[in-house]
Amino acid sequence: MSTVKSFSVGNGDMFYINHNSKNFTIIDCCLSDENRDCIVAEVKALADANEIVRFISTHPDDDHIAGLKDLDDVLKILNFYCVQNEATKTDETDDFKRYCELRDSEKKAFYLVRGCNRKWMNQGDETRGCSGINVSWPDRENESFIDALKSAKAGESPNNISPILKYSVENGVSMMWMGDLETVFMKTINETLALPKAHILFAPHHGRDNGKVPQALLDKIAPEIIVIGEAPSEDLNYYSKYNTITQNSAGDITFECDGKKIHIFVSAKDYEVDFLDDEWQSGEDTYLGTLNI
């Protein structure tokens, strides 16, 4: 059984995947004075219990790298995954400086491109299994992506350099992350994307309306649940035709992936949905229900 957790960090993103193959993956980072000690302690305990630990950075916006310096100081990140880029910022925070140090490291950085392979990311061996992580985007030869890289290098928004990642278990759960890709950009690359199905989709750009996934892409992904991240409610698109979990109200969301079942827990005690099966699971947080896939 593997565990995927989406932390409630306010206006930002932070996830981890505790694989069942001695692999541990962190996706993005958003630490604050209020949550730093608790989250770092939880992540460090899980990292220490595994053999391979990787950090995946979707892009270097502050709400996706806040606290990266502190996290790296504790974990000593050896495997830093990101899209190869030359993003700059007028005001460089300590976290952005650490991002650039890791991004440009010959020993620590691994660059994500469509279809890339790496041992224990998506290739196992006799030592241990893989993590089930595959990359559907970017295509570094795509003109729209090249323009996004140029914009990031010029100090503009790095949203559209975000990769598209899929985590899947053989004959089981599949989940997809799209960073902060914006709707207009997704429309321009739609015809070049052959996206696989994902049972759980984490809505890009925290679920904001300007990051709404175009219907043509939603038809390819065919998500059974869309997780809408934390942003001001007036900025959100609630994907009315889909089953959704809204992190603004649900708090931390934990997915316990057991074969063809996803048991879902939330930190909010009074949050409910009506589309999950009740299989009477217990855990540290409030049991929301089970998705049978």
Q: Between 186 and 125, whose confidence is greater? A: 186
Mean pLDDT of 86-104: 97
Which pLDDT value is given to residue 128?
87
The domain 2-292: what is its CATH number? 3.60.15.10
Four-CA torsion 179, 195, 18, 30, nearest 10 degrees: 0
Which pLDDT value is given to residue 129?
87
Which pLDDT value is given to residue 248?
96
What does pLDDT average to over the chain?
Answer: 96
Q: Where are the alpha helices (DSSP H) in the chain?
A: 36-48, 62-65, 68-75, 94-103, 143-153, 183-189, 215-221, 247-250
Cα–Cα distance list, 194 to 114, 115, 127, 189, 241 (Å): 10, 11, 32, 10, 22
Burial label, 39 (beta-carbon count in 10 A; 0-12, 13-18, 19+): buried
pLDDT higher than 90, residue 20: no
Give dist(CA 17, CA 233) in Å, integer: 27
Contact 128, 21 (CB under 8 A): yes
Which pLDDT value is given to residue 265?
98
What pLDDT band is residue 126 in, cutting at 50, 70 and 90? confident
Q: Please count the other Cβ atoms lying within 10 Å of the Cβ belonging to residue 86.
A: 12
Which pLDDT value is given to residue 171?
83
Please state the separation of Cα 274 from the chain's center in Å: 25
